[in-house]
Amino acid sequence: MTVSIRSEQPGDERAIRALTDAAFRDMPHADGDEGELIERLRVQGDLVLSLVACNSDKAIVGHISFSPVAIAGSEGKWYQLAPVSVIPSGQNSGIGSSLIEAGLDRLQGSGAAGILLVGDPDYYSRFGFTREHALTLSDALDPYLQMLQFEGDPPSGQITLAPAFG
């Protein structure tokens, strides 16, 4: 499926919620909160970058969010990638990869020091994410915590996600 990527616009909110709920509905790792999470990020002013993928009919078929992350002792701008979703019927055709690459390009171009995420290393390593870092989030999530650094010294220590993540 050929898609175009653009920033979220007013009026996209319901489609983003519906596609996120649908994408995560049957995922074993999902907590069912992902669609609402994006709305909390938006309301709290932490939806730093929100991109949608549109098909040839201009329907939204994918979405990705980035929010700020605080790292104790680090002055660079770090962001968390989460969540990323593709409609079930469009998965495994490159849409998620296009969204991730577009988001990383934009944030690197805007001076971000790097991106963090919690996810499957088998998937995210293809974009350059690594578990080789000295950051911590929680005992349960640390095995899935990955980093992609654009510039600066490697950060270390405890990270704090946007309040929407609870």
Ligand X SMILES: CC(C)(COP(=O)(O)OP(=O)(O)OC[C@H]1O[C@@H](n2cnc3c(N)ncnc32)[C@H](O)[C@@H]1OP(=O)(O)O)[C@@H](O)C(=O)NCCC(=O)NCCS
Please tell me whether residue 136 adopts helix, strand or coil conformation: strand
- Residue 124 CB, nearest distance to ligand X (Å)? 8
Contacts of 107 (CB under 8 A, 6+ apart): 48, 49, 66, 79, 115, 150
C-alpha distance from residue 113 to each of 67, 71, 90, 105, 128 (Å): 13, 11, 32, 12, 14
- Residue 160 CB, nearest distance to ligand X (Å)? 19
**Closer residue to ligand X, CB minimum distance, 16 or 23:** 23
Cα separation of 13 and 122, whole Å? 30
Cα separation of 76 and 111, whole Å? 9
Q: Using CB positions, name the residue nearest to ligand X.
A: 96
The DSSP element (H or E) to which 7 belongs, if any, is: strand 4-7
Q: Are 38 and 65 in contact (CB under 8 A)?
A: yes
- Residue 73 CB, nearest distance to ligand X (Å)? 27
**Closer residue to ligand X, CB minimum distance, 36 or 75:** 36
**Closer residue to ligand X, CB minimum distance, 31 or 132:** 31
Interface residues toward ligand X, by CB under 6 A: 23-24, 27, 83-86, 91-97, 119-120, 122-123
- Residue 137 CB, nearest distance to ligand X (Å)? 14
- Residue 102 CB, nearest distance to ligand X (Å)? 12
**Closer residue to ligand X, CB minimum distance, 68 or 119:** 119
**Closer residue to ligand X, CB minimum distance, 74 or 85:** 85
